[in-house]
Amino acid sequence: MEQVEQLFNSFENKLLEISLYGSFIVDESTNKYKEYLMKFSKIDTLKDEKIVGTRLVYWDILSNHKKILSDAKIEKNVNELLESAEYHNNKQLQWLFVEAYELYEKHIDDLYSLIGYLDNNFWDLQDFGKVSIDDIKIFTHEDFANKVLKKENRPYSIIEVFEKKLNLKKYDDIKEPFRNYSFLVALLSELRNAIVHDNGFLDRKRLSKKLLKKYGINGNSNKEIYENMISNFFGSQEYEKMICLTKIPKANEVVKDLFYTDRDRFKEIIGILISYIKLISDLLIKRMKS
């Protein structure tokens, strides 16, 4: 039990570090950039609002690798550059989220192998491939991860085992999107895949249709609130298919119970991952005590 708690604490600390760094990107770095641009523009902004920054250096490979000192100018004013910064901040948050999600996947793996090692009677032998109870008893925790953990398509297959053993769906509240954790974790998985494989762009309508149907919300009276919740993780206009994790100035009705003046989408998804792992950890500890 103590080992499960230690594993959870380690996971929580790692995601706290990612969350802190994400806040720095959005808040501190943007403020510093704004200060720099305002100071810089007084010197280098021309009447046509072209800004010359630190000159780029690159090489003309076809001309015997000749050095080129760039005279490039930015065709944007200060406010337009700050809007561009928002875009790039979001891209950084996307990849910080991917890092957090991959830590979640690793934790599921580690937790699965740890519980099998601590409680030989918890899992069915079929969960671990062809191995006997006697073999399991002599394995270390690391052995369990390396030799016994046979599940394919991890961590999804492991989550299925947890769902079966711990009845996780019992704790989902279908009326509240931010308390329906099976749905939320599936949503985060889709967002992660789009960031890794599709540069952070995803068709929100197709995503909504897929997830609402899978979790029995299609045609449900809660359909609209789920669609709105999903939409709030995307941009607008030319960015309507881009996953957006930067802050929203005012919380809307979907998230009115989160106590945010400014809705921090990045911290929300970090909180979802930690909450889900805590649920699983607490249920495992409770079961081992009984």
Distance, in Å, from the CA atom of 189 to the CA atom of 205, rounded to the nearest integer, reads: 16
Nearest to 241 by CA among 270, 198, 183: 198
Query: Where is average pLDDT lowest: 44-53, 152-161, 217-226, 278-287?
Result: 44-53
Is position 40 within any domain? Answer: no
Label residue 126 exposed, middle or buried (CB < 10 Å: 0-12, 13-18, 19+): exposed
Structural domain span for residue 177: 2-22+87-289
For residue 87, what pLDDT is reported? Answer: 87
Is position 53 within any domain? Answer: no
Number of domains in the chain: 1
Distance, in Å, from the CA atom of 86 to the CA atom of 91, rounded to the nearest integer, reads: 9
Distance, in Å, from the CA atom of 264 to the CA atom of 262, rounded to the nearest integer, reads: 6
pTM for the model stands at 0.80
Is position 280 within any domain? Answer: yes
17-58 pLDDT per residue, tens = 999 998 888 878 888 888 877 776 654 444 445 555 667 888
Is position 102 within any domain? Answer: yes
Is position 69 within any domain? Answer: no
Is position 37 within any domain? Answer: no
Residue 11, helix vs strand vs coil: helix
Give the other-Cβ count within 10 Å of 33's Cβ. 18
Q: Which residues have a Cβ under 8 Å from the Cβ of 82 and sit 6 or more positions away?
A: 30, 33, 34, 37
Is position 31 within any domain? Answer: no
69-101 pLDDT per residue, tens = 887 777 777 777 878 888 888 999 999 999 999
Is position 251 within any domain? Answer: yes
Residue 66, helix vs strand vs coil: strand
